[in-house]
A and B are shown apart, each in its own frame.
Chain A
Amino acid sequence: MDYSQFLAMKQELALLLVFLLVFLYDTFLPKKAQKGLPVFAIVLTLAATAAGFCCHCLGSACNTVAFAGMYETSPVIAAIKGILNVGAVIVLIQSIKWADSENMTMRRGEFYELLLVTLFGMYLMISARHFLLFLIGLESASLPLAAMVALDKNRYESHEAAVKYILTAVFSSAIFMLGLSFLYGLTGSLYFQNIYFALTANGSANLLLILSVAFVISGIGFKLSLVPFHLWTADVYQGAPTSVTSYLSVISKGATAFAFLVVLVQVFGSIYSSVWEWMLYALIILTITVGNLFAIRQRNMKRFLAFSSVSQAGYIMLGIIADNAMGMAAMMYYILVYIFSNLAAFGVIGAIENATGKVSMDNYNGLYKTNPRLSFAMMLAMFSLAGIPPFAGFFSKFFIFTGALNQGSVAIYVLVGIALLNTIISLYYYLLVVKAMFINDTETPLPTFRSSCSERLGLWITVAGVIGLGIVSWFYSSLLELAQVAPMNMYFIG
Chain B
Amino acid sequence: MFANILIYFVVIPLLMLAGIALCRNVRQIRAVAVTGSLALIALSVVVLLQYLDLRAAGETAPMLFTDSWTWFEPLHINLAVGVDGISIAMLLLSSIIVFAGSFASWKIDQPKEFFLWLILLSVGVFGFFITVDLFTMFMFYEVALIPMYLLIGVWGSGRKNYSAMKLTLMLMGGSAFLMLGLIGIYYHSNPAGGQLTWNILEIASRAADAEQCIPQGWQMVLFPLTFVGFGVLGAMFPFHTWSPDGHASAPTAVSMLHAGVLMKLGGYGCFRVAIYLMPYAAQELSYIFLILTGISVVYGAFCACVKTDLKYINAYSSVSHCGLVLFAILMLNTTAMTGAIMQMLSHGLMTALFFALIGMIYGRTHTREITKMGGLMQIMPYLSVCYVIAGMASLGLPGLSGFVAEMTIFVGSFQAGMADYLGGEGSLRLVFTIIACCSIVITAVYILRVVGKLLFGPVQDDHHRTLTDATWWERLSTVTLILCVAAIGCFPNFFNNLINTTFSPAIFAVLGM
Segment at the interface with A among B175-183, B468-476, B490-498? B175-183
Of B71, B142, B146, B153, which is within 8 A of A439 by CB? B153
B180 and A473: CB pair below 8 A? no
Instruction: State the CA gap A439–B149 with chains docked (Å).
Output: 10
Instruction: State the CA gap A416–B183 with chains docked (Å).
Output: 11
Which chain A positions have C-beta within 8 A of B419?
none
B142 and A394: CB pair below 8 A? yes
Instruction: State the CA gap A480–B135 with chains docked (Å).
Output: 18
Which chain B positions have C-beta within 8 A of A487?
none
B283 located at the interface, meaning its Cβ lies under 8 Å from any Cβ of chain A in the complex: no
Which chain A positions have C-beta within 8 A of B173?
421, 424
User: Which residue of B is nearest A397, CB measured?
Assistant: B179
Which chain B positions have C-beta within 8 A of A406?
187
Instruction: State the CA gap A383–B139 with chains docked (Å).
Output: 14
A413 and B180: CB pair below 8 A? yes
B146 and A383: CB pair below 8 A? yes
Within 8 A of A (CB), among B172-226: 172-173, 176-177, 179-180, 183-184, 186-187, 221
A454 located at the interface, meaning its Cβ lies under 8 Å from any Cβ of chain B in the complex: no
User: How close is B506's CB to chain A, nearest CB, in angstroms?
Assistant: 27
Instruction: State the CA gap A394–B176 with chains docked (Å).
Output: 12
A390 and B180: CB pair below 8 A? no
B284 located at the interface, meaning its Cβ lies under 8 Å from any Cβ of chain A in the complex: no
Instruction: State the CA gap A481–B187 with chains docked (Å).
Output: 20
A427 and B135: CB pair below 8 A? no
Of B73, B77, B139, B183, which is within 8 A of A401 by CB? B183
Instruction: State the CA gap A278–B491 with chains docked (Å).
Output: 62
Which chain A positions have C-beta within 8 A of B71?
473
Q: Mark A431-463, 1 if CB is under 8 A from B, else 0.
A: 100110011000000000000000000000000
Of B143, B149, B184, which is within 8 A of A413 by CB? B184
Which chain A positions have C-beta within 8 A of B180?
401, 405, 413, 416-417, 420
Q: Known contacts A390-B143, A398-B135, A420-B179; is A427 also within 8 Å of B169 by CB?
A: yes
Q: Mark B140-157, 1 if CB is under 8 A from A, else 0.
A: 101100100110011000
User: Which residue of A is nearest B70, CB measured?
Assistant: A473
Which chain B positions have C-beta within 8 A of A204?
none
Size category of the A interface is 20 to 34
Which chain A positions have C-beta within 8 A of B184?
405, 413
Q: Mark B60-77, 1 if CB is under 8 A from A, else 0.
A: 000000000001111101
Within 8 A of A (CB), among B28-78: 71-75, 77
Which chain A positions have C-beta within 8 A of B179?
398, 401, 420
User: How close is B130's CB to chain A, nearest CB, in angstroms?
Assistant: 16
Chief secondary structure at chain B's binding surface: helix
A363 located at the interface, meaning its Cβ lies under 8 Å from any Cβ of chain B in the complex: no
A408 located at the interface, meaning its Cβ lies under 8 Å from any Cβ of chain B in the complex: yes
B146 and A394: CB pair below 8 A? no
Which chain B positions have C-beta within 8 A of A431?
149, 165, 168
Of A390, A399, A423, A481, which is within 8 A of B139 by CB? A390
Of B72, B165, B186, which is within 8 A of A477 by CB? B72
Instruction: State the CA gap A473–B139 with chains docked (Å).
Output: 14
B186 and A402: CB pair below 8 A? yes
Q: Known contacts A401-B179, A427-B169; is A408 also within 8 Å of B187 by CB?
A: yes
Instruction: State the CA gap A423–B140 with chains docked (Å).
Output: 18
Which chain A positions have C-beta within 8 A of B160?
439
Which chain B positions have C-beta within 8 A of A394?
139, 142
B154 and A439: CB pair below 8 A? yes
A389 located at the interface, meaning its Cβ lies under 8 Å from any Cβ of chain B in the complex: yes
Instruction: State the CA gap A394–B221 with chains docked (Å).
Output: 24
Q: Known contacts A399-B75, A427-B172, A439-B154; is A388 also within 8 Å of B165 by CB?
A: no
A476 located at the interface, meaning its Cβ lies under 8 Å from any Cβ of chain B in the complex: yes
User: How close is B12's CB to chain A, nearest CB, in angstroms?
Assistant: 17
Instruction: State the CA gap A421–B139 with chains docked (Å).
Output: 18
Instruction: State the CA gap A401–B186 with chains docked (Å).
Output: 12
User: Which residue of B is nearest A416, CB measured?
Assistant: B180
Q: Known contacts A417-B180, A421-B176; is A389 also within 8 Å of B139 by CB?
A: yes
B161 located at the interface, meaning its Cβ lies under 8 Å from any Cβ of chain A in the complex: yes
Which chain A positions have C-beta within 8 A of B177?
420
User: Which residue of B is nearest A406, CB measured?
Assistant: B187
Instruction: State the CA gap A480–B149 with chains docked (Å).
Output: 35
B161 and A388: CB pair below 8 A? no
Q: Known contacts A416-B180, A435-B153; is A389 also within 8 Å of B75 by CB?
A: no
Which chain B positions have C-beta within 8 A of A438?
150, 153-154
Which chain A positions have C-beta within 8 A of B142?
388-389, 394
Which of B71, B74, B173 has the most chain A CB atoms inside 10 A of its CB? B74
Instruction: State the CA gap A405–B177 with chains docked (Å).
Output: 14
A428 located at the interface, meaning its Cβ lies under 8 Å from any Cβ of chain B in the complex: yes
User: Which residue of A is nearest B139, CB measured?
Assistant: A389
Which chain B positions have C-beta within 8 A of A423?
172, 176
User: Which residue of B is nearest A424, CB measured?
Assistant: B173
Q: Known contacts A420-B179, A428-B165; is A405 also within 8 Å of B154 by CB?
A: no
Q: Known contacts A383-B146, A390-B139; is A435 also within 8 Å of B186 by CB?
A: no
Within 8 A of A (CB), among B361-418: none
Q: Mark B66-95, 1 if CB is under 8 A from A, else 0.
A: 000001111101000000000000000000
Which chain A positions have C-beta within 8 A of B164?
439
User: How close is B359's CB to chain A, nearest CB, in angstroms?
Assistant: 20
User: Which residue of B is nearest A422, CB measured?
Assistant: B176
A477 and B73: CB pair below 8 A? yes
B150 and A434: CB pair below 8 A? yes
User: How close is B96's CB to chain A, nearest CB, in angstroms?
Assistant: 26
Q: Known contacts A424-B172, A424-B173; is A389 also within 8 Å of B186 by CB?
A: no
User: How close is B222's CB to chain A, nearest CB, in angstroms?
Assistant: 10
User: How close is B298's CB to chain A, nearest CB, in angstroms?
Assistant: 29
Which chain A positions have C-beta within 8 A of B153?
435, 438-439
Which chain B positions have C-beta within 8 A of A399?
75
B143 and A389: CB pair below 8 A? yes
A476 and B72: CB pair below 8 A? yes
User: Which residue of A is nearest B150, CB measured?
Assistant: A438
Which chain B positions have C-beta within 8 A of A427?
168-169, 172
Instruction: State the CA gap A3–B389 with chains docked (Å).
Output: 89
Which chain B positions have C-beta within 8 A of A421?
173, 176
B176 and A420: CB pair below 8 A? yes
Which chain A positions have C-beta within 8 A of B169?
424, 427-428
Which chain A positions have C-beta within 8 A of B165?
428, 431, 435
Instruction: State the CA gap A417–B165 with chains docked (Å).
Output: 22
Q: Mark A458-494, 1 if CB is under 8 A from B, else 0.
A: 0000000000000001001100110000000000000
User: How close is B512's CB to chain A, nearest CB, in angstroms?
Assistant: 30
Instruction: State the CA gap A89–B264 with chains docked (Å).
Output: 46
Instruction: State the CA gap A65–B83 with chains docked (Å).
Output: 54
Instruction: State the CA gap A421–B143 with chains docked (Å).
Output: 19
Which chain B positions have C-beta within 8 A of A417?
176, 180
Instruction: State the CA gap A481–B72 with chains docked (Å).
Output: 12
Which chain A positions have C-beta within 8 A of B139?
389-390, 394
Which chain B positions have C-beta within 8 A of A428?
165, 169
A473 and B73: CB pair below 8 A? yes
A424 and B183: CB pair below 8 A? no
User: How close is A396's CB to chain B, nearest CB, in angstroms?
Assistant: 12
Which chain A positions have C-beta within 8 A of B172?
423-424, 427
Q: A398-B179, A439-B160 are in contact. List 19 more A-B contacts (CB 8 A).
A: A326-B74, A398-B183, A401-B180, A402-B75, A402-B183, A402-B186, A413-B184, A420-B177, A420-B180, A423-B172, A424-B169, A424-B173, A427-B168, A427-B172, A431-B165, A435-B165, A438-B153, A476-B74, A477-B73
Q: 28 A–B contact pairs at CB < 8 A? A: A326-B74, A388-B146, A390-B143, A394-B139, A405-B183, A405-B184, A406-B187, A413-B180, A413-B221, A416-B180, A420-B176, A420-B177, A421-B173, A421-B176, A424-B176, A427-B169, A428-B165, A431-B165, A434-B149, A435-B153, A439-B150, A439-B153, A439-B160, A439-B164, A473-B71, A473-B73, A473-B77, A476-B72
Which 9 A-B pairs rank lowest in CB-CB distance, beginning with the nearest?
A420-B176, A439-B153, A389-B139, A473-B72, A480-B74, A389-B142, A424-B173, A405-B183, A388-B146
